[in-house]
Amino acid sequence: MKAFEVRQLSDVELEKRIIEEQENLAHMKFQKATKQIDNTAEIGHIRRDIARMRTILTERKTKAAVAASGTESTTNE
């Protein structure tokens, strides 16, 4: 999943997607351990997708926190 595709998702959808991908990753790791998987590179792709989604979610939360603190500082003066 590309970054621009991830950015189009809402925060709730993004969190759901992260959970789904983590479950998929655990399943893939199990398959790798039991030698039932053909394409082991897919594990790396899933890990990068999870990291990408977490990064974008963190960016959004940080941006919201900065915006909220910026609003508070102007009202306290």
Question: What is this structure's pTM?
Answer: 0.82
The whole-number pLDDT of residue 1 equals 79
CATH code, domain with 10: 1.10.287.310
HEC secondary structure over the chain:
CCHHHHHCCCHHHHHHHHHHHHHHHHHHHHHHHCCCCCCCHHHHHHHHHHHHHHHHHHHHHHHHHHHHHHHHHHHHC
Structural domain harbouring 32: 3-76
- What is the domain count for the chain? 1
pLDDT tens by residue, the chain, 77 residues: 788 888 999 999 999 999 999 999 999 999 999 999 889 999 999 999 999 999 999 999 999 899 888 876 555 55
The whole-number pLDDT of residue 55 equals 95
Query: Could you read off the pLDDT of 25-36 as tens digits, one per residue?
Result: 999 999 999 999
